[in-house]
Amino acid sequence: MTIALAADSVLANRYRIAERIGKGGMGEVFRGIDHVLEREVAIKVLTERSDEVRQRFLLEAQSMARLNHPNIVAVYDVGVDQSLSYIILEFVRGKTLREMDRKNLSLETAIGMTVQVLEALQYAHGQGIIHRDIKPGNLMIGHEHAVKVMDFGLARRMSDISNLTQSGQIVGTIAYLPPERFLGKSGDRASDLYSVGVLLYELLCGTLPFPLESGDLVAVMYAHVNDRPKPPRHVNPAIPPALERIVMRLLDKDPARRYPDAASLLVDLRAVQATLALPRVHLVETSVTETLPAADSDQPVPHEPAAAQADDTNAIGIDPSATLRVKNDLLASKTFSSALTRVMQGMMCARKQQWREAEDHYTAAIGMLTPLRHPSELARTYARLGGMYCAKIKVTGISLPSEVSAARDHLTKALPVLREKRLNADVREAEANLKLLEAVKTA
């Protein structure tokens, strides 16, 4: 949904629209002019009108308005005009870290930028706010690598940690989320620090600790929960051992074994800086373009699309015919996120040889995915269910005809799509499981 706010239109008799500069999960962002204070501002306008999203939008404004720090994008005002809810933000110049080449940064730059992110989080955590969506797309990089953290749209007050989203829904970006988020927990300070650990790993190594090379979202979720990342020095030998220990502690599966807070982590990172004689990155007061980006390119979990009520769309220039479609997209994105969670839970149960529970999770996920337009994930889920039956046969030595038949049907259904999408690793595994079933059949 795009808001057709014309250039030179004015909100609240104060903020003149100059141009549209970005789009986020719940709204769009415009560059504007505050005629009272005669300064450029960023104007974030809510495009979805449901009570849930309005509540999140208000929470974002309340969270950010409490934060006054040089490494955090400032909130100046919030209000409603022309049936539009809006937030007035600091206008900053630069580009997001997502838009930068993150593969060839020096150790000095990587550590310096991470220190600035941590200084922002240390301050926010001290105010009772956790960010919950630290990733390159939410970090603006200005002159001399000055960093500003933005988009506290997923932030929560620590005293009100309950999710506003549906149970099982994963909000944020898969590549940077901590394992506890995939297990249905809302997250805390340690969760933000895990995301910083993923970010630091990427800046130091030029790759994510759990890459999305195959595009298999569930496999990455599973890896975050179960797998140990390759130590950073195995990827980049120039990384000092002390820095590697910091990264691996941040990426611990158990939040209690990570750093207790950003302050403790900053002490260790600055010690590494001192050892390497790295210069501190000094902030330069500048204005950076607040482009709330669309979802990160690093394989995001679908963000909530924007939508609007039909009764006032003509007044603000929104296409009325798009309303139902966008609301359906919102429901589909929540269903897709829940389905991925069920698939991951099925994988974990299968690993523990909890066959019945794994079957229930996979079957539920297939029911969610079938009406959606995600053929690759649906095919992979069919293949995983078929593979689960094959694993059960290997472990127990029992081959029930109904399970052999079901496994063969699921694998046969999955293979054409897996081949078409060139998911070669999945194809090889599915073919190997079919061969196993043929041997069982002739035994």
Let me know if 357 is exposed, middle or buried by CB neighbors in 10 A (0-12, 13-18, 19+): middle
Q: Are 51 and 31 in contact (CB under 8 A)?
A: no
Task: Determine which helix (DSSP H) or strand (DSSP E) holds 381, and give its type and residue range.
Answer: helix 375-396
| Tokens representing residue 5 in the block | 């706010």
Cα–Cα dist 244/23, whole Å? 36
Residue showing tokens 């194809």: 427
Give how far the C-alpha of residue 132 lies from the chain's centroid of Cα atoms, to the nearest Å.
Answer: 9
Give how far the C-alpha of residue 200 lies from the chain's centroid of Cα atoms, to the nearest Å.
Answer: 16
Cα–Cα dist 215/217, whole Å? 6
Q: Are 94 and 142 in contact (CB under 8 A)?
A: yes
Cα–Cα dist 4/8, whole Å? 12
Q: Are 330 and 339 in contact (CB under 8 A)?
A: no
Q: Which residues contact 233 (CB under 8 A, 6 or more apart)?
A: 239, 241, 244
Convert 70-88 to b/e letters by CB count within 10 Å (16 or more is b): ebbbbbbbbeeeeebbbbb
Q: Please pick, among 77, 133, 151, 426, the residue that the annotation labels catalytic.
A: 133
| Opening angle at CA 117, ends 115 and 123, nearest 5 | 100
Cα–Cα dist 26/46, whole Å? 6
Helical packing angle, 107-126 and 262-275, nearest 10°: 160
| Among 331, 293, 318, 323, residue whose Cα is nearest residue 307 | 323
| Among 333, 335, 336, 429, residue whose Cα is nearest residue 380 | 429
| Among 108, 39, 101, 112, residue whose Cα is nearest residue 76 | 39
Report which residue type is found at 341.
Answer: T
Dihedrals phi, psi of 124, to nearest 5 degrees: -60, -45
| Tokens representing residue 415 in the block | 């293979």
133 a catalytic residue: yes
Q: Which of helix, strand or coil describes residue 128?
A: coil
Cβ neighbours, 10 Å, residue 227: 14
Known catalytic residues? 133
